Amino acid sequence: MTHQVSTVAPVPVISIVNNQTITSSLDVAEYFGKRHDHVLRDIKNIIDQEPEFGLPNFGEMQDVVSTNNRGTISRVFYNMTKDGFVFLAMGFTGAKARKFKILYIEAFNAMEAQLVSNPLQLEAPALTASQIGELATLIAERFTDGRDRPYAWGRFNNHFRLASYKDLPPHRFEEACRYIRTIPPKAQPQIALIAPPVDDNQNYRRGVESIENIQSWALLALTGRNQDQVLEYCRQAKASLVRGWTEMDEALLRITVAMSFLRRWRDG
């Protein structure tokens, strides 16, 4: 039996927001097979070097995503216009990238042509006031502590890829109601920035708990290089613990260094 590998290119993701065609840095990164942080870096360079062009054509957005330890972190991405995409994609090289750029621009052009010829047809239907109220009620009933509701809405918007829950397509309303009932409670990690004691007889379990506590903080509070550094110190600390009691001092030293990063973040 012969298996054929599909050579069909993926479909570019183009949306309409306020009667303007846009795509997102997340979609561009996925489409071109690039790391999202590298795409963000390129966009920020454009904005820094050409602010008069960059600021109108790249809009910074945020959503909330789940972490492996059932917490959440805020994620930055950019929405961009066709002009912004063309400028950004100049740096994407190679035969495959060239083909994908052409397909992406053609998708922009096709969507713009439809928008010009029949704008009412492309106008997204809106939720009714009653539906919006019902979604808000379901969130309030499931998350009685108002402090947890931003987390819930973040999970909701991220799941449906929305800037606001009010942008939900009406045909997905019933699905949205079912999803709200499945949103897990917000994890409440014990985040105590107190250095682990170094008294005699400190055991392996206490060391692991301290390291995992720091990892929870890093995933929730830090980003980028700072987060990577703290997680690497924690990884090294765990490795030291596994190697045995003879390296306990080394593990505690690495924990202390990781704690210093967190205190620096906490104290501004």
What is the largest distance, in Å, between two alpha-carbon atoms of the chain? 78
Is 260 within the bounds of a domain? yes
Is 6 within the bounds of a domain? no
pLDDT tens for 62-75 read 777 666 666 667 78
pLDDT at 201 over 50: no
Average pLDDT of the residues of the chain: 77
pLDDT for 189 equals 52
pLDDT at 35 over 50: yes
Please count the structural domains in the chain. 3
pLDDT tens for 237-256 read 777 766 655 555 566 667 77
The verdict on 154 and 230 lying in the same domain is no
Is 196 within the bounds of a domain? no
Q: Which CA distances in Å does 72 have to 38, 65, 67, 122, 217?
A: 22, 5, 5, 34, 11
The verdict on 59 and 112 lying in the same domain is yes
Is 29 within the bounds of a domain? yes
Is 85 within the bounds of a domain? yes
More confident residue, 6 or 207: 207
153 is in which domain, residue-wise?
129-180
Residue 23: is it exposed, middle or buried by C-beta count within 10 angstroms (0-12/13-18/19+)? buried
- Mean of pLDDT values over 106-131: 74
The one-letter code for the residue type at 130 is: S
Is 173 within the bounds of a domain? yes
pLDDT for 191 equals 46
The verdict on 45 and 101 lying in the same domain is yes
Is 254 within the bounds of a domain? yes
